[in-house]
């Protein structure tokens, strides 16, 4: 129950163990096409160029930047956590001119600050931001940020690593030009694949480049010879078994339905919140901007947060995450992602936290968490 990887469904593990075939085998090529269609559903897009890259979410991030950013391009990076900082690193390594819009960690990206930055930097090519900041548990308004960027003709690159499958991501409706994600969060697949999607405006920018894409492996012009339509040409040996697993994970998501999956994550968050607050603990992110699948819980004063995590792991086989960067030592990151977003895990987590914190003499209201979480679960139907 940390920030990822999340628990994997037994169905996905079974798919992972199926016999390996060649990455150009006709049967596997057929599976590739089905994968692309299921990812379009998951991203809520009709983009033809929607497929899983061979590598974790960081590869998806790099692929977006190396294909779209050329030396000298102005890119506005919205930074409100660790992963906005990694976007900045990518811009600089591509030779772009980075303009940073900073917001407090634990807060969403401020649309007004983005508007001001665009006014001060005419000719900006790209706006990049993290939809769901994994390091803080804060979610930004992707629709609003994308509309601001498009109003002045900018492309957008959006990190949906933690949001995809857990909260609404609507690429076409929101007008996102390029987005990337990971398989190990709300999709509950094994780590090591990065779903990406590129719209027509992004592809036009790639085709109009004045310079070669700096990465051979992530050059869309080459990758699409393998993942595109028609005859496949060899690019690299695809991770066949991991792609089996992703296909099964996407099938599970489609069987449940996106809207029901989003509602399930929200419902289980409300149960967790009730248990956490019954103990007298609080969240680091305001409710309106809080991720249901990644909960940043503030560490009580005087509590050794690392010791709490150690006891949870040793005594309950329960892993929760530590804070990163400026939030290190100040929060726990509790994941309720994909297959792991269920009532059993909520009750395990709040009950174990209650017992461990009580045993350490922490200033909490002991013995209330499990009942409060159960009451919240029963109070309303999912959705």
49-81: per-residue pLDDT in tens? 999 999 999 999 999 999 999 999 999 999 999
Specify the pLDDT at position 248. 98
220-257: per-residue pLDDT in tens? 999 999 998 878 889 999 999 999 999 999 999 999 99
pLDDT averaged over every residue in the chain: 96
Bridge partners of 97, per DSSP, are 74
Specify the pLDDT at position 230. 76
- Dihedral of the alpha carbons of 250, 253, 258, 263, in degrees to the nearest 10: -140
The pTM of the whole model exceeds 0.85? yes
Which strands, in side-by-side order, build the sheet including 193-198? 49-54, 193-198, 178-180, 155-159, 126-130, 74-79, 97-102
Over range 9-38, report the average pLDDT. 95
Over range 305-333, report the average pLDDT. 96
Specify the pLDDT at position 314. 98
- Cβ atoms within 10 Å, residue 81: 25
Share of the chain above pLDDT 70, in %: 99
Q: Which domains does the chain have, with CATH numbers?
A: 10-255 (3.40.640.10), 257-379 (3.90.1150.10)
Specify the pLDDT at position 383. 38
Query: Using an 8 Å Cβ cutoff, are 313 and 353 in contact?
Result: no
Give the separation between CA 157 and CA 136, rounded to whole angstroms.
20
Q: Residue 381 — pLDDT band, cuts 50, 70, 90?
A: low
Q: Indicate the angle between helix axes 305-316 and 343-359, nearest 10 degrees.
A: 120
Query: Using an 8 Å Cβ cutoff, are 169 and 130 in contact?
Result: no
Is the pLDDT confidence value at 382 over 70? Answer: no
Is the pLDDT confidence value at 161 over 90? Answer: yes
């Amino acid at each position: 129950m940390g920030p990822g990887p999340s628990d994997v469904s037994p169905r996905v593990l079974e798919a992972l163990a199926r016999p390996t075939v060649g990455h150009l085998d006709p049967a596997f090529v057929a599976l590739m096409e089905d994968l692309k269609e299921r990812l379009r559903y998951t991203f809520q897009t009709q983009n033809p160029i929607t497929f899983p890259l061979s590598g974790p979410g960081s590869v998806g991030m790099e692929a977006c930047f190396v294909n779209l950013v050329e030396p000298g391009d102005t890119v506005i990076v919205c930074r409100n956590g660790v992963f906005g900082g990694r976007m900045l690193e990518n811009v600089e390594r591509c030779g772009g001119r980075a303009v940073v819009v900073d917001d407090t960690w634990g807060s969403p990206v401020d649309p007004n600050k983005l508007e001001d930055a665009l006014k001060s930097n005419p000719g900006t090519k790209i706006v990049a931001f993290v939809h769901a900041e994994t390091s803080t548990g804060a979610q930004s308004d992707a629709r609003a940020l994308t509309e601001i960027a498009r109003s002045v003709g900018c492309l957008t690159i959006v990190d949906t690593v933690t949001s995809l499958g857990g909260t609404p991501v609507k690429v076409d409706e929101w007008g996102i030009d390029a987005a990337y994600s990971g398989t190990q969060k709300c999709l509950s697949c094994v780590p090591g694949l990065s779903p990406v999607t590129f719209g027509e405006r992004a592809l036009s920018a790639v085709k109009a480049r004045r310079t070669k894409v700096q990465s051979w492996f992530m050059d869309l012009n080459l990758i699409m010879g393998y993942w595109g339509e028609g005859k496949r040409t060899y690019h690299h040996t695809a991770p066949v078994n991991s792609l089996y697993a992703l296909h099964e994970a996407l099938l599970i998501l489609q069987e449940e339905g996106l809207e029901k999956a989003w509602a399930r994550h929200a419902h289980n968050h409300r149960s967790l919140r009730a248990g956490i607050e019954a103990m007298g603990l609080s969240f680091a992110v305001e409710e309106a901007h809080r991720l249901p699948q990644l909960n940043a819980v503030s560490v009580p004063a005087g509590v050794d947060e690392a010791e709490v995590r150690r006891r949870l792991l040793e005594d309950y086989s329960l892993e929760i995450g530590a804070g990163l960067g400026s939030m290190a030592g100040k929060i726990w990151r509790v994941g309720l992602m994909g297959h792991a977003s269920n009532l059993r895990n909520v009750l395990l987590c709040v009950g174990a936290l209650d017992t461990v914190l009580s045993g350490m003499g922490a200033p909490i209201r002991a013995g209330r968490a499990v009942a409060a979480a159960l009451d919240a679960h029963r109070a309303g139907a999912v959705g």
